[in-house]
């Protein structure tokens, strides 16, 4: 094994050579994968997303990069020897073809999995700038991506470390690879900062990439002396102008009517959100626990703590060692009877809100940790069943809240994606569930004892009245937890 056997070769094992170009391209791709995976987790996508995008975009990107180079370098020579098209180790890849190939894969992948294409590109494309920045050093190793002749003094100072290897074809050359690499890293930082601002819109990351890299590459190509050409024009500059114009138009809102999805799906928790079941729940717990745990004393904080967790969690906490299944069965029977005794009623302003949402064309569904039949009973007793044709209960999922499965089942049942969904709940567990699913989280503070807990959970919006949802829906931003 031999490291650095030549300027272009990174490692050599017998007859096998790993060149700097390939090593740096893969390093850049892996770092972009790492950044994408981090943002994928924040966005609520499954772990498969980053893996699929890495393999698919890399494969299609290499194919696209090669075909682009073949088309705009010496097409006649390649057609005369078609097998030479496959010999990429002889050189010849173009970044614009790689980006188009990767975008083609994203489009097909998003359509297959019913994802928002723009949401995925907002997550992924800015990270491509880092891959491009590192990949440019592969061009340096191959004596590529350079500009016109310059004086030796041009490399005095911070550029002195690359001086020796910028002596190409009998003269020192302007290191365009270096300038592009630095500008790509700067672009990634600026785009991410821009996406963190209040009022971020879907497409900001995608169009930001197009604007920044379009402008960067146009300037770089002005000085390069090894560009691909289309007639008298540099192909990279032609594409850069197109990308720059599209990106500017997108950031100015020219494509908003196509980018904006249909109205978001509203997924509601049931207890403490749609229905005021606090009295029903606390009285049911009170009866069962005082029967089976003699001498138990429950405080106001204890009663508030019954709102949110599953029955199993609550009984295991307050009646350890008891037959939990029996306690749950008793609780449900008592709770059911109380539904017919006026212990359940709509939350304040909920009937008016639901009627408004229905008239405005919003789809609504309930995702609860209660059994679906109990939820439907409460809706029927309160005259609200007409607003919900879909109820996902605890028996419909393998993992209950705060796992994201409840919300995922809800938006899948209605044909939506996680990139266009709002979850409305009343507990920290509900906020965590929304965060895990990547959907916009609204939490209602129906009990002042829970306000600090709810603030710590960091919902997108904390409300005191369900009627406030009307104003929230007028906001112009993506309906995802991390707002991008």
Residue count (the chain): 484
133 burial level (CB within 10 Å; 0-12, 13-18, 19+): buried
| Residue 371: Cβ within 10 Å count | 16
pLDDT in tens, the chain (484 residues): 665 666 788 788 888 888 888 899 999 999 999 999 999 988 888 889 999 999 999 999 999 999 999 998 888 888 888 998 888 877 788 999 999 999 999 999 998 888 889 999 999 999 999 999 999 999 999 888 999 999 999 999 989 999 999 999 999 999 999 999 999 999 999 999 998 876 778 899 999 999 999 999 999 999 998 888 888 889 999 999 999 999 999 999 888 877 766 799 999 999 899 998 888 888 888 898 989 998 888 888 888 788 778 889 999 999 998 999 999 999 888 888 888 888 899 999 999 999 999 999 999 999 998 899 999 999 999 999 999 999 999 999 999 899 999 999 999 999 998 889 999 999 999 999 999 999 999 999 987 878 998 999 999 999 999 999 999 999 878 899 986 6
Domain edges within the chain: 2-258, 265-274+344-472, 278-339
User: H-type helices in 114-203, by residue range?
Assistant: 117-141, 176-195
SS3 319: coil
93 neighbors 146 (Cβ within 8 angstroms) = no
DSSP string across 45-108: --THHHHHHHHHHHHHHHHHHHHHHHHHS-HHHHHHSGGGGG-GGGS---HHHHHHHHHHHHHH
pLDDT of residue 6: 65
Residue 469 and residue 484: Cα distance in Å, rounded? Answer: 20
299 burial level (CB within 10 Å; 0-12, 13-18, 19+): exposed
Class of domain 265-274+344-472: alpha beta
24 neighbors 137 (Cβ within 8 angstroms) = yes
SS3 440: strand
pLDDT of residue 393: 95
Pick the closest to residue 128 from 41, 31, 203 (CA basis): 31
Residues 6+ away with beta carbon under 8 Å from 373: 393
Q: How many alpha carbons fall within 13 Å on the CB side of residue 389?
A: 5
80 burial level (CB within 10 Å; 0-12, 13-18, 19+): exposed
Residue 152 and residue 163: Cα distance in Å, rounded? Answer: 8
Q: What are phi and psi of 404, to 5 degrees?
A: -80, -5
Residue 129 and residue 193: Cα distance in Å, rounded? Answer: 14
Residues 6+ away with beta carbon under 8 Å from 291: 330
Q: How many alpha carbons fall within 13 Å on the CB side of residue 184?
A: 23
Residue 438 and residue 422: Cα distance in Å, rounded? Answer: 9
Packing angle, helices 278-292 and 324-339, rounded to 10: 140
User: H-type helices in 114-147, by residue range?
Assistant: 117-141
pLDDT of residue 180: 97
pLDDT of residue 138: 92
SS3 364: strand
pLDDT of residue 2: 62
pLDDT of residue 5: 64
**DSSP label at residue 464:** S
pLDDT of residue 15: 80
pLDDT of residue 370: 87
Report the relative pairing of strands 440-444 and 421-425 from DSSP bridges: parallel
Domain 278-339 is of which CATH architecture? Orthogonal Bundle (1.10)
452 neighbors 391 (Cβ within 8 angstroms) = no
pLDDT of residue 268: 98
25 neighbors 61 (Cβ within 8 angstroms) = no
State pTM to two decimals. Answer: 0.78
Q: What are the structure tokens assigned to 113, written together?
A: 């999995």
Pick the closest to residue 176 from 250, 215, 249, 226 (CA basis): 226
Task: Encode burial over 453-469: b for 16+ CB neighbours within 10 A, e otherwise.
Answer: bbeebebbbbbeebebb
pLDDT of residue 177: 95
Evaluate the omega torsion of the peptide bond into residue 115 and state whether it is cis, within 30 degrees of 0. no
């Amino acid at each position: 094994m031999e490291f650095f056997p030549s300027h272009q070769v990174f490692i050599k094992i017998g007859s096998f050579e790993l060149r700097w170009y390939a090593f740096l391209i893969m390093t850049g791709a892996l770092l972009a994968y790492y950044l994408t995976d981090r943002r994928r987790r924040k966005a609520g996508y499954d772990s498969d997303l980053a893996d699929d995008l890495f393999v698919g975009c890399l494969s299609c990107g290499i194919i696209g990069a090669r075909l682009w180079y073949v088309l705009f370098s010496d097409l006649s020579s390649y057609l005369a020897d078609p097998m030479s098209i496959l010999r990429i180790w002889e050189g010849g890849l173009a970044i614009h073809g790689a980006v188009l190939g990767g975008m083609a894969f994203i489009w097909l992948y998003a359509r297959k999995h019913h994802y928002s294409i723009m949401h995925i590109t907002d997550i992924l494309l800015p990270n491509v700038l880092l891959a491009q920045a590192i990949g440019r050093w592969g061009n340096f190793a191959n004596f590529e991506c350079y500009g016109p002749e310059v004086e030796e003094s041009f490399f005095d100072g911070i550029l002195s470390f690359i001086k020796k290897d910028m002596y190409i074809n009998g003269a020192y050359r302007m290191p365009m690879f270096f300038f592009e690499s630095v500008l790509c890293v700067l672009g990634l930082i600026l785009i991410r900062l821009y996406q963190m601002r209040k009022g971020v819109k879907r497409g900001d990351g995608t169009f930001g990439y197009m604007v920044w890299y379009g402008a960067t590459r146009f300037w770089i190509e002005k000085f390069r002396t090894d560009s691909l050409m289309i007639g008298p024009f540099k192909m990279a500059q032609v594409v850069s102008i197109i990308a720059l114009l599209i990106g500017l138009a997108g950031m100015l809102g020219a494509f908003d009517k196509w980018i904006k999805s249909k109205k978001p799906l509203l997924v509601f928790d049931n207890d403490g959100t749609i229905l005021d079941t606090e009295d029903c729940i606390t009285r049911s717990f009170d009866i069962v626990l005082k029967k089976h745990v003699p001498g138990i004393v429950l405080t106001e904080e204890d009663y508030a703590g019954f709102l949110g967790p599953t029955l199993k969690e609550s009984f295991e906490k307050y009646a350890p060692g008891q037959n939990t299944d029996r306690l749950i069965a008793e609780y449900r029977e008592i709770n059911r009877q109380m539904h017919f005794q006026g212990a359940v009623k709509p939350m304040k302003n909920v009937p008016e809100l639901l009627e408004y949402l229905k008239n405005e064309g919003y789809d609504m569904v309930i995702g609860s940790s209660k059994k679906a039949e109990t939820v439907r009973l409460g809706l029927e007793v309160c005259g609200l069943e007409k607003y919900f044709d879909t109820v996902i209960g605890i028996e419909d999922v393998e993992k209950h809240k705060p796992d994201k499965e409840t919300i995922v089942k809800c938006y899948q049942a209605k044909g939506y994606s996680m990139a266009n969904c709002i979850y409305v709940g009343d507990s920290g567990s509900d906020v965590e569930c929304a965060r895990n699913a990547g959907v916009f989280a609204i939490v209602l503070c129906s009990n002042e004892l829970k306000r600090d807990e709810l603030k710590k959970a960091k919902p997108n919006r904390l409300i005191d009245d369900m009627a406030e949802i009307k104003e929230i829906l007028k906001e112009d931003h993506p309906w995802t937890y991390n707002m991008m």
